[in-house]
Structure 1
Amino acid sequence: MQQQKISVLQFFYVIVGFELGTTIILGLGTEAKQDAWLVIGIGMISSLLLMGVFTQLSSYYPDDTLVSMIPKIIGKYLSYPVIMIYILEFIYNAARVCRNLGELLNSTILDETPTVVLIGSFMVLVIYCLRGGVETFGRMGELVFPIYIMSIVVIWILLLSVEDFNLKNLTPVLGNGIKPILKEVYLGVINFPFGETIISMMFFPFLNNKQINRKVGMSIILIGGILLMVNSIMMISILGPEIYSRNNFPLLSATQMVSIGDFLERFDALIILIMVVGVFFKVGCWTFGAAFAISQLFKLNHIKSVLLALGTIITPLSLVSATSFVQSLEIGREYYIPYVLPLIQIMLPILLLCIAFIRIKFNPGDPSA
C-alpha cells in the first residue's frame, strides 16, 4: 500500500470533490442570510493559513501521514490517545455524511427504500473502490470529477432561467452587521468544510511530487471556496435569504423551480447525482483515512480487512448517531462543528506544528525529528 502513488492532479480532484461534498447541497453560512457568500469568502481566506499548517507539518515529515508523524512529534505514549481521537473523528464523519445521503435519497426518489439499504449499498461501492488502493481511488476521482463539476455548472446555468432569480436578494451587504458573519466563519465555515481538509495529510505521502504539496493545498482551498461562493450566490438569488437560512437542501429547492418552456422540468435527478458523487469523495476520504490510520497504529501490512470492518461499522453508526435527520443537522451545527472540530482540526495541528518546529530547530540530529 505504501508503494502506491497518485498524481498531483488526481489528489486535487479527490480533495476538491471532498471539500464540496455535501456542502454544495446543504449550503453554508445560513445564519448570516444574504451575507452567506461573504462568510464563505472570509472562511476561505482564513483557511489558507490552516492549510499552511497542514502542509508545513507534511514538509517536516514528508514520508509520514498525520497518524505516523504524531509519535515522532509528541512521543509514542502520548500519541495513542491523539491518534484514537483522529480515527474516531474520521469514522464519525463518514457515518454522518452517509446519513445525509440516505435522508436525501429517502426524501426524493427512493422514499420507500429503507435508509439502511441505501447506506449499506453505498458503503459496498466505496469499500470496493478503496480495496483497490489509493491509486484506484485517485483514478476514480480523475474519471468522476469532471462529470461532477460539469453537472454543477449545468445546474447553475439552469438556475439563471428561473424567473425569481434576482441578485438584489444579496443586499443589503452587511445588513445584519459583522457579528453574524464572524460567528459563522470562526464557529462554522472554517471548521466545515475547510478545516476538514486535514484529511489531505493522510494522502500527502502518496503524492508523486511532494515538493508542490503547499501549492496544490492552497489551490484546493481557493478553487473549492470559489465554487462554494458562486453556489451560495445562486441559491440566495433564487430562494431569498430567509428561505435559504431555513431550508435543509437549498440547492434542491432552487433547482425544483427550474421550468424551461413548461417542458423541461424536474432536474432533481441531477442534484441526486451531484450529491452521490460528492458523498463518494467525502466518505471515501474519511474511510481511507480511518483504515490507513488503524493499519499504521497497529502496524498492519494490509488494510483490506480493516476496510471491511469499517464498512460494517459505519452503516449502523450512521443510523444510530441521531434519531432523525433534523437532529443530525442540529447536533452538527450546534455542537460538533463549533466545539469539537476546532480542537481536532485547528488547535491540535497548530500545537503539533509548534512542537515539531521546536524539535527540528533545537534537535536537528534527532532521528524522530
Structure 2
Amino acid sequence: MPKERLSSVQLIFVIVSFLIGNTFMYNTGSGAKQDAWLVFLFTMIGGFILMYVYIKLCTYYPGESLVQIIPKVVGRLISYPIILLYIIYFIYLASKACRDFGELIAATILDETPIEVVIASFMVLIIYCLHGGVEVFGRMGEVVFPIYIIAIMIVWILLSTVDQFSIENLTPVLGNGMKPVLNEIFPTVLTFPFGESIIITMFIPLLQKGANLKIIGFSAIALTTFLLVTNIIMVLSVLGPEVYSDQFFPLLSATRMISIADFLERFDALIILMMVAGVFFKVGGWIYGAATGISQLLKLKQNKSVLLGLGTIIAPMALIIASNQIEYNEIGLELVPLYIHIPLQIVIPLLLLVIAFIRNKMEKKKS
C-alpha cells in the first residue's frame, strides 16, 4: 500500500489552521490590556526558536516521527515512558479542544442542545475524516483555509465600520511597561498556541520528497502570528482593552456589533463557523498525532482501528476534565502551561536535540 503524502502547501495550511484553532476564540494576552497584540508579535520569536528545535530534531532522523525518534536518541528503555507521556498529552489536548468547541456551541447557537450531543457529533465527523487518511485531512486544509482567510478578512473590514471602532484603543503602546507583556508571553502564549507546533513532528514524515522544512515551519509561524495580531488589533479597536479582557469570546462579541444600514446584521454565525473549522483542525491534528504514536509504539500497520478507539475515549474525557467552566479555565490557564506544556513542548525537545546533536558529532568522528 503506497504511503500517504502531504504537499508543502497542504502542511502549511494544516499547521496554521491547527495553531489558530481555538486561539481565535479566547481573549488570549488580555493581561497586557491594549498591548495584547504586542504579546503575540514578541512571542513569534519564541515560536521560531521552538519550530527550529522541532525541525532540527527531525532532520537528524529523516522520515521519522517524534515517537520513532525518541528511542533512537535516548534508548529503547527510557523512551517508553516519554512516548506514553506524549500520547497521553495529545489525547488530553484533543479532549480539551473538544471541550472548547462544546462550550462555544452550547453558549451560542445550540444553547438548548446537551453539550454531550454536540461533542459526540463533532467527534464522529473528525474520526470519519481521519479514517479516510491523512491526505483527506490535508486536502481539507487546502480547501478550507483559503475560505477561512477570505471570511476573516471580510469580518475585519466589517469591524472597521462599527461606530465604536477606534485605533486609539491601542494606545498608549507599552503604557504599563514591558512587565505585563512578558507575563503574558511566558508561559501562556509561548505554549498556547506556538508551543503546540510540536505536532508538526508527527506530520513531517508524510511530506513529499524535496520539501524545505524550514520554509514550511517558519512560514506557518509567521502566517499564524500575522492572523492573530491583526485579529486582536481589530477586536481591541472595537471593544477596547477593558471589555476585551472581560469577554469570554471577544471576537464573537465584537462581530455582534456589526450593523450595516440596520439591515445586514448577525455576522456572528460566520464567526462560529470559522471557529468550528479551526477547532476541527486542532482536534484532528491531536488525534492523528495520538493515533500515529500508538500505532508506531505497538508496531501496527495502520491506525484506523486506533482512531475509532480514540474517538470513544476523547469524547467522554472532554466532559470530565472539569466539572464547570470556571474550573476548566483555571486548569487550562494556570496549571497546564506550567506543569504540562513547558516540559513536553520545551524541556524534553531541547534535551532530545542536544543529545541528538552530540550523537551526530560522535558518529561523524567515528566515521
TM-score range, shorter chain: over 0.9
**Counterpart for residue 330 of structure 2:** 330
The aligned residue for residue 230 of structure 2 is 230
Contact 1:8 1:209 in 2 (8 A): no
Equivalent positions of 1:14-25 (< 5 A) are: 14-25=14-25
Do structure 1's residue 58 and structure 2's residue 67 form an aligned pair?
no
Q: Give the superposition deviation at 1:222.
A: 0.5
Q: Is the 8 A contact 1:23 1:193 kept in 2?
A: yes
Partner of 1:190, secondary structure, is: helix
Deviation of 1:361 after TM superposition, in Å, equals: 0.5
- For residues 2-60 of structure 1, the C-alpha deviation after alignment (integer angstroms, 9 at most, x for no partner) is 71101011111100000110111213211111111000000012211111101101111
The residue aligned with 2:344 is 344
Seq. identity, %: 54
Specify the alignment match of 1:243 in structure 2.
243
Matched residue of 2:248: which SS?
coil
Shift of 1:214: 1.1
Deviations along 1:189-209, one digit per CA (max 9) or x if unpaired, are 111000000000100010003
Task: Output one character per residue of 1:294-335: Cα deviation in whole Å (capped at 9) or x when no partner.
Answer: 000111111111000000011000000011123212211111
Residue 163 of structure 2 aligns with which residue?
163
Secondary structure at the residue paired with 1:295?
helix
Q: CA deviation at 1:137?
A: 0.8
CA distance in 2, matches of 1:262, 1:211: 50
Question: Aligned partners of 1:307, 1:252: CA distance in 2, in Å?
Answer: 32
Distance 2:183 2:347 in 1: 18
Which amino acid is the alignment partner of residue 216 of structure 1? I
Q: What is the Cα deviation at residue 228 of structure 1? A: 0.2
| Residue 78 of structure 2 corresponds to residue 68 of structure 1 | no
Match of 1:5, SS state, is coil
SS in 2 for 1:203: helix
Structure 1 stretch 173-182 or stretch 223-232: which is displaced more? 173-182
Alignment correspondent of 2:174: 174
CA contact (8 A) 2:8 2:211 kept: no
Partner of 2:304: 304
Identify unmatched segments of 5+ residues in structure 1.
Answer: none
Report the Cα offset of residue 364 of structure 1.
3.7
Match of 2:186 in 1: 186
1:184-333 correspondence runs (5 A): 184-333=184-333
1:305 partner amino acid: S
> For the residues of structure 1 that align with 2:2 and 2:167, how far apart are their CA atoms?
50
- 1:28–1:40 contact (8 Å) kept in structure 2: no
Q: Distance in 1 between matches of 2:123 and 2:210?
A: 30
SS state at 1:141 partner: helix
Question: 2:58, 2:201 within 8 Å by CA — same for their partners in 1?
Answer: yes
Runs of 5+ in structure 2 lacking a partner?
none
Provide the aligned C-alpha RMSD in A.
1.4
**CA–CA distance in structure 1, aligned partners of residues 245 and 154 of structure 2:** 24
Q: Which moved more, 1:340-349 or 1:358-367?
A: 358-367
- How many angstroms apart in 2 are the aligned matches of 1:143 and 1:217? 20
Instruction: Point out the more displaced range, 337-346 or 116-125.
Output: 337-346
Structure 1 residue 257 displacement after superposition:
0.6
Partner of 2:26 in structure 1?
26
Q: Residue in 2 aligned with 1:47?
A: 47
Deviates more, 1:339-348 or 1:219-228: 339-348
CA distance in 1, matches of 2:30, 2:210: 37
Q: Which residue of 1 aligns with 2:359?
A: 359
Contact 1:6–1:207, Cα closer than 8 Å, also in 2: yes
Structure 1 residue 186 displacement after superposition: 1.6
Structure 1 pair 136/112, CA: closer, same or farther in 2 (3 Å)?
Answer: same
Q: More displaced, 203-212 or 291-300?
A: 203-212
CA distance in 2, matches of 1:257, 1:274: 18
Q: Name the aligned partner's letter for residue 67 of structure 2.
A: V
Work out the CA distance in 1 between the residues paired with 2:246 and 2:209: 44
Alignment TM-score, normalising by the size of structure 1: 0.97
Question: Corresponding residue for 1:144?
Answer: 144
How does the TM-score come out when normalised to structure 2?
0.97
Inter-partner Cα distance in structure 2 for 1:210 and 1:48: 21
Question: Shift in Å at residue 252 of structure 1?
Answer: 0.4
**Contact persistence 2:99–2:119 (CA under 8 A):** yes
Structure 1 contact 191–338 (Cα < 8 Å) conserved = no
Partner residue, 2:104: 104
Task: Provide the residue aligned with 1:95 in structure 2.
Answer: 95
Corresponding residue of 2:85: 85
Q: Write the letter of the residue equivalent to 1:323.
A: S
Distance 1:326 1:226 in 2: 30
In structure 2, how many angstroms separate the alpha carbons of the residues matched to 1:32 and 1:155? Answer: 24
Structure 1 residues 323-348: Cα deviation after superposition (integer angstroms, max 9, x where no partner): 11232122111111233201110111
* Alpha-carbon distance in 2 for matches of 1:327, 1:158: 35
Distance (whole Å) between structure 2 residues aligned to residue 43 and residue 9 of structure 1: 24
